[in-house]
Chains A and B, each alone.
Chain A
Amino acid sequence: MFRRMSVPGGRKRPPGNFFQRWLAFIIGVLLLAGLVFTAPVLERLPGLGPRIEALRESGVETGAFWWADVPEVSEAERYIRQSRDLAPGN
């Protein structure tokens, strides 16, 4: 009756011998680190740079995907409610 866990992933060993696989891993790590550490170069691009800088300054959690993780949503909700509630005639 007990369900054993189906083992996900890694069923097929990645191609190459031991050294090739570790070399690929190290290259991957270096590429990822390179991407993260060289990303600020994008801020020097004309047109894009000032916009990235503006977003950095604003402190918006740009990568957050759910509304509750973004404090500005609460601010937006308050603004919209007040614009509705404080409108003339309400």
Chain B
Amino acid sequence: MSEKSNSEVVVEEKRQPELVRMFKTEDYWAIWLGALLLIFALIMAFANPPDPAKFAEYRAIMQQEAERAPFKTIAYHEAEMAKEKMRARNEEPFKTLYAFTNRPKGWDTNPISALYLSESEAAAIREANKERYAQAQEATAAARAAAEEAEAAAAVAGFKDSALNERAKEAIAAWQAALAAEAKAKKAATTQAYNLIPGLVVLMIAIALFFSIGLRFMGHNVRRYLVAFPVVFALAVLAYVLANQATMKALGLSYVLFALVLGLLIANTIGTPNWLKPAVQTEYYIKTGLVLLGAGIMIGKIALIGIPGIFVTWVVTPIVLIATFWFGQNILKIPSKELNITVSSDMSVSGVSAAIATAAACRAKKEELTLAIGMSMVFVAIMIFAIPAVANALNMHHVLAGAWIGGTVDNTGSVVAAGELIGPVAMYVAATIKMIQNVMIGVIAFGVAAYWALKVERERSGVAGQQVDLRFGSALREIWDRFPRFILGFLGASIVFSILYTTMGHDWSKVMIDNGVLAWANRFRGWFFALAFVSIGLATNFRELAVHLKGGKPVILYVCGQSFNLVLTLLMAYLMFFVVFPGITEQIVP
């Protein structure tokens, strides 16, 4: 394995006294800034939370209705919908601040509409969708009347007539579907004019100042950074605009891919200008983004779908990861361990997020992360359509298909999309499995960082042949010396938010954490990753990228690993959901 220069790695290794590190390294500044952002969001959310009395009232109605009838009544649904609308981010001052983190919107043929929509254009959209909305409203009213009638009939029979209960259940489901269609039609029929540019300028200034704090302490020239930053930010905005084109979006091509492509295009044609380089802060952006990502790793969610879910994710995924890494090292003889583990993690765990966390944990080269994500995007675009097509052709049970998709397709958005192509139950199972798998990123990142610190880095520094000091304290000190510190922030955020989530209870956490603190922090995380990937592109040379692709080994690794993953996940999902725990499958599809 060749030596890596500092400029090439996703995160750099530094040897400084710990106290100095705390104020002079990106690792620690990523933790401080991530924590600052999360604490600020917590204060905003808890300063003016949604009305807890109303929340309790909705919960009481749901409880009461669940006891009254053997199906979800109209009142139950209404209370649930009202409860779902309660979000910390909808309360001031959070609401205003949240609006300033807006990302470019979706567009079809006119990219300008991603950022700006005039009043006349908005009026034209409203007019075009007026009739559809009116029809949807009528359909909802009719479905509601039918649902009320059916429920009343079931109530008269004391909810003891199963035929009447079934009829009411179906009528209520039809009303729910009509409501969903109406909501879509309403969105188009109530389109408002917008101009995101002033908000994006404010956001750009805020992010630039935010990162400047750490850069100042780390001894960078902040003035030069501030001059260069708007261009990197503009490229990140452009990446979002390109990714939000309707077809691109449907194909699962993420903004990180476009951010990479834009950076690569500049770096490998006209070259990255020197004045732009102070804002090319890949490690800093990526580590801060990862600390925020850590806050979304809720340990408690792993048991959501019971033991089958744990087996499909927490048993199959590590087996595939380790087997793929072993295959890459021993059969394909991939020279870079970092590339091998990053591709293995990307493919087996959860795509881009796992690739970023793993690459950062093992200090992979930027080209290696670029390659892993590029391959992942290509395969995702194929798998979104191929896996549902196979599942539908085999007439696969929707729970099995969902578990298969959730365990194998990279990236949550693509998993949901693939599930949607089969049906709602498949989508629900797929999304849940993927969410449980997402939790694993924390463990993988920690494991990879520890393995690299204890074994790989140790071998490289030439101490592998020396007698190993087996004392616990020595081993711990050695790991600590080499351990990337930001991983502690990443894990710390996960632990703190998991505790908060458990303490507050699932329902109230949804209101305050998921739809408050994390919703806001996630917007920033998205921007930080977009900046990071623009930076990676601006720092990556095609020729160096080509070296890693030599012999097509990474592609072979991905294809072989994914094939193994597809077989093992399907087998495990079948065993768990249909042989060992069929009761859970019956609960999911009553």
Contacts and interface: CB of A to CB of B under 8 A. Distances in A.
Contacts of A75: 428, 431
The number of chain A residues touching the other chain, given as a range, is 35 or more
A9 B431 CA distance: 38
B199 interface: no
Contacts, number: 229
B402 to A, nearest CB: 9
A78 B243 CA distance: 29
Interface in B241-280: 242-243, 245-256, 261-262, 265-274, 277-278, 280
Contact of B245 (A6, A25, A36): A36
A70 B416 contact: yes
B384 interface: yes
Residue with the greatest number of chain A CB neighbours at <10 A, chosen from B8, B247, B293: B247
The number of chain B residues touching the other chain, given as a range, is 35 or more
A56 B304 CA distance: 29
Contacts of B518: 68
B172 to A, nearest CB: 14
A25 B421 contact: no
A28 B265 contact: yes
A65 B353 contact: yes
Contacts of B5: 6
Interface string B390-416: 000000000000000000001111101
B416 A60 contact: yes
Interface in A2-17: 2-14
Contacts of A12: 541
Interface string A55-81: 110111111111111101111110111
Contacts of B388: 51
Contacts of A84: 306, 587
B104 interface: no
B590 interface: yes
30 contacts: A3-B16, A3-B219, A7-B277, A8-B7, A8-B8, A8-B535, A9-B541, A10-B273, A10-B538, A13-B271, A14-B268, A21-B269, A25-B265, A25-B266, A32-B262, A36-B245, A54-B421, A62-B252, A63-B252, A65-B256, A65-B351, A65-B413, A66-B296, A67-B296, A70-B431, A72-B416, A77-B304, A77-B435, A80-B588, A86-B72
Given A39-B245, A66-B522, 8 more contacts: A2-B219, A8-B535, A36-B242, A39-B248, A56-B249, A64-B413, A76-B416, A83-B587
Interface of A: 1-14, 21-22, 24-25, 28-29, 32, 36-37, 39-40, 42-43, 48, 51-52, 54-56, 58-70, 72-77, 79-84, 86-87
The 4 closest A-B pairs by CB, nearest first: A2-B219, A9-B539, A10-B272, A64-B413
